[in-house]
Amino acid sequence: MQLYNTLSAKEREALIEQAGKDRLTISFYKYAHIGNPGLLRNHLFIHWDELDVLGRIYVAHEGVNAQLSVPAENFNRFKAHLDSISFLEGVRLNIAIEQDNKSFLKLKVKVRRKIVADGLDDGSFDVTDKGIHVDAEQFNQLLEDPDAIVVDMRNHYESEIGHFRTAITPDVDTFRDSLDLIEAQLRDHKEDKKLVMYCTGGIRCEKASAYYRHKGFRQVYQLEGGIIEYTRQVREKQLENKFLGKNFVFDQRRSERISDDVIASCHQCGKPCDTHTNCANEGCHLLFIQCPECAENMNHCCSEACMEVVALPYEEQKKLRKGRVKSNLIFKKGRSEVLKFKKSPENTAVLE
Burial label for 272, CB within 10 Å (0-12, 13-18, 19+), is exposed
Backbone angles phi, psi at 265, to 5 degrees: -130, 155
Read out DSSP for 81-102? Answer: HHHTSGGGTT---EE-SS--TT
DSSP 325: P
279 is catalytic: no
> Is the Cβ–Cβ distance between 64 and 213 less than 8 Å?
no
The torsion defined by the Cα of 161, 178, 207 and 55, in degrees rounded to 10, comes to 40
- Of the candidates 210, 218, 166, the one whose C-alpha atom is nearest the C-alpha of residue 190 is 218
Read out DSSP for 21-32? Answer: --EEEEEEEEE-
Q: What is the rounded distance in angstroms from the CA atom of residue 317 to the CA atom of residue 105?
A: 25
Q: Which amino acid is at 251?
A: D
Just list the catalytic residues.
199
